[in-house]
């Protein structure tokens, strides 16, 4: 079922509801929205036991966009989706979406249980295999988008997070390339989220928390997961079979089902 909720600043946020059972909200990372990325397949599997809410983060897909961008507005968006889900929900956030979920939980959002997959938090996990951080990369990406060079912006972001050059080149002619370029401006949003993350703030997260990562993730993201475990009270970690910054829905869904099940 399709619906739209309205965030605090009046921005419409597009939602898809699937399944029946306790509510679960999925928060996408960069370069994804409801129609593109891992959430649809994951939602299909989780819907066997839960009512799953996927949504387009602001500036993507069917959602609106409000200026100026601020991380707080993304937190408000997530609060609005949780309200639409019935007032409280379990939440699973991927990458920068995991940071948004952590920010919401730290600020007292009505999250029953929280799962995050490889959020790129401060320290060794900073964006950039050659040491370029989110704060330094953001203006470069913004400039490319402003000049209409969206394809270059996409590739700069991809290489910055460690996507192999051969894979970057192969994706230039992929059928989903137009979709990536269409939301290139939101890569600036994701980097703003990453730059604003503050590990010490997540000591205020007071809900049961699961930190997930893949067996083949980067050293930086692994260090981020370990640091988060040491920071969030009572958090625990699971490592699942997967590739760099990716775990298949068939492996992820059972872990989330076991954690979110009442």
Which token pair is 10?
A: 């009046």
- The residue whose two tokens read 């920068």 is 96
pLDDT over 70 percentage in the chain: 95
Alpha helices in 107-240 (DSSP H): 134-146, 150-160, 165-170, 177-182, 186-196, 219-231
- Grade residue 135 by pLDDT with cuts at 50, 70 and 90: low
33-71-257-261 Cα dihedral, nearest 10 degrees = -140
What average pLDDT does this structure show over 45-55?
A: 98
What average pLDDT does this structure show over 136-142?
A: 88
- Grade residue 258 by pLDDT with cuts at 50, 70 and 90: very high
pLDDT digits (tens, 9 = 90+) for 66-77: 889 999 999 999
What counts of helices (H) and strands (E) characterise the chain?
Answer: 10, 8
Residue 1 has pLDDT above 50, yes or no: yes
pLDDT of the residue at 245: 86
Which token pair is 84?
A: 């639409």
The count of other CB atoms within 10 Å of the CB of residue 2 is 9
Contact 228, 201 (CB under 8 A): no
Residue 128 has pLDDT above 60, yes or no: no
Tell me which of 166 and 17 has the higher pLDDT. 17
Tell me which of 82 and 220 has the higher pLDDT. 82
What average pLDDT does this structure show over 109-117?
A: 98
Q: How many Å is the maximal CA-CA distance in the chain? A: 50
What average pLDDT does this structure show over 44-57?
A: 98
**Spatial distance between the Cα atoms of 92 and 77, rounded to a whole number of angstroms:** 15
pLDDT of the residue at 125: 43
Contact 118, 214 (CB under 8 A): yes
What average pLDDT does this structure show over 35-51?
A: 95
Tell me which of 242 and 135 has the higher pLDDT. 242
Statement: 2-126+197-260 belongs to CATH 3.40.50.1820: yes
Sheet with 89-94: strands ordered across? 2-6, 12-18, 51-55, 23-27, 89-94, 111-117, 209-214, 236-240
DSSP 100-128: HHHHHHHTT--EEEEEEE----SSTT-S-
pLDDT of the residue at 124: 46
Contact 205, 179 (CB under 8 A): no
What average pLDDT does this structure show over 29-54?
A: 94
The count of other CB atoms within 10 Å of the CB of residue 159 is 17
The count of other CB atoms within 10 Å of the CB of residue 72 is 13
Residue 184 has pLDDT above 60, yes or no: yes
What average pLDDT does this structure show over 15-44?
A: 95
pLDDT of the residue at 130: 35
pLDDT digits (tens, 9 = 90+) for 194-210: 888 999 999 999 999 99
User: Considering the entire predicted model, what is its pTM?
Assistant: 0.93
Contact 13, 76 (CB under 8 A): no
Every domain of the chain and the residues it spans: 2-126+197-260, 134-189
């Amino acid at each position: 079922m399709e619906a739209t909720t309205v965030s605090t600043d009046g921005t419409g946020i597009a939602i898809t509801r699937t399944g029946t059972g306790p509510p679960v909200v999925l928060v996408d990372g960069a370069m994804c929205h409801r129609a593109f990325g891992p959430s649809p397949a994951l939602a299909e599997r989780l819907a066997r036991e839960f009512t799953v809410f996927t949504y387009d983060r602001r500036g993507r897909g069917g959602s609106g966009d409000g200026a100026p961008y601020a991380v707080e507005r993304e937190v408000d968006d997530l609060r609005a989706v949780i309200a639409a889900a019935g007032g409280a929900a379990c939440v699973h956030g991927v990458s920068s979406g995991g940071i948004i979920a952590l920010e919401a939980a730290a600020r007292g959002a009505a999250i029953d249980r929280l799962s995050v997959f490889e959020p790129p938090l401060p320290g060794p996990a900073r964006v950039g295999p050659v040491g370029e951080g989110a704060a330094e990369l953001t203006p470069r990406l913004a400039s490319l988008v402003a000049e209409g060079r969206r394809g270059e912006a996409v590739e700069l972001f991809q290489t910055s997070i460690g996507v192999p050059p051969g894979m970057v080149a192969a994706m230039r002619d992929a059928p989903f390339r137009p979709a990536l370029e269409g939301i290139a401006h939101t890569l600036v949003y994701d980097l703003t989220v990453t730059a604003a993350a503050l590990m010490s703030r997540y000591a205020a997260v007071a809900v049961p928390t699961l930190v997930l990562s893949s067996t083949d993730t980067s050293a930086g993201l692994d260090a981020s997961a370990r640091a988060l475990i040491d920071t969030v009270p009572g958090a625990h970690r699971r490592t699942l079979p997967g590739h760099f910054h990716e775990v298949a829905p068939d492996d992820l869904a059972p872990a989330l089902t076991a954690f979110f099940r009442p």
